[in-house]
Amino acid sequence: MTKIIESKFFIDQSEGDHGKETILTYWLSWSLRLSVENNDYCKDKPILKRYCRYMLFKLLGIDNYSGIRVLEVNVKKEWHRIDLIAEINIERDGCKERHVLMMENKAYTYMTENQRDNYPSVVTRYHGDPQKNNYNLHQVLLTCFEWSNKNDVPRIKYLQDFCANKSQWKVLSIEDIIMEYKQDTESELYNTFWLGNW
């Protein structure tokens, strides 16, 4: 069950969205970095840590993550015009793994063919071939269109079709990466942004 509160985060007297996608990128960066095991900010915030780990592993497509340690998350925003790149080091069953998460987020627009077709090669030119350089590349298009809004469902399906045959992009709704609401976290800002209805 999702908690329905009206988030005041984006609601002011401005007209239009005024940078919603940029703000989303900053929030994603912060949330992903909070998933690191020895993060001082979260040491007394176990609920917040749980929500952030859920988000990270949803973006990586890893469902069973209970025994996985998140060792390091380094984030670059607007790197070569890509909204967010996260270099993630984890330890699973005593073995270290490297992951590179490439994200485009769309609050109100669609992905372009240039983004879909060319951004992955920008990452592989920098990091090298995933098989040769021993890392897992994850390409995620995160949309603010919501499954729970019947008007948004065709938009999400359009994005899925747009990405399906010509790329490795995985399309996720903002609802897909937020843990089912059970209780507020210890961070009022996190609750307002991620758990609110905006």
Q: Sort 67 into a burial class: Cβ within 10 Å, 0-12 / 13-18 / 19+.
A: exposed
pLDDT at 18: 58
Q: Which letter does DSSP use for residue 176 in this model? A: G
pLDDT at 45: 94
**Helical packing angle, 20-33 and 46-60, nearest 10°:** 110
What tokens does 155 get?
């938009």
Domain for residue 14, yes or no? no
β-bridge partners, 7: none
pLDDT at 167: 83
What tokens does 101 get?
């998460």
Number of structural domains (the chain) is 1
Domain for residue 4, yes or no? no
Contact criterion met (CB below 8 Å) for 174 and 139: no
- Taking the mean position of all CA atoms in its chain, how far away is CA 11? 22
pLDDT at 16: 55
Report the predicted TM-score, pTM, of the whole model to 2 decimal places: 0.87
* Beta strands per DSSP E along 19-154: 69-79, 82-92, 95-106, 136-143
Q: For tokens 């960066």, name the residue.
A: 29
**HEC secondary structure over 109-133:** CCCCHHHHHHHHHHHHHHHCCCCCC
pLDDT at 183: 84
**Which residue range forms the structural domain that includes residue 72?**
20-194
Domain for residue 6, yes or no? no
Domain for residue 100, yes or no? yes
Looking from the CA of 2 toward its CB, the CA atoms found within 13 Å total 17
Cα separation, 43 vs 49, in Å, equals: 8
pLDDT at 9: 54
For residue 105, give the nearest of 194, 190, 21, 196 by alpha carbon.
21
Domain for residue 148, yes or no? yes
pLDDT at 1: 44
Q: Would you write out the chain's pLDDT as a tens digit for each of its 198 residues?
A: 445 555 555 555 555 555 778 888 998 999 999 999 988 998 999 999 999 999 999 999 999 999 999 999 999 999 999 999 999 999 999 999 999 999 999 887 889 999 999 999 999 999 988 888 889 999 999 998 888 889 999 999 999 999 987 789 999 998 899 877 778 899 888 888 887 765
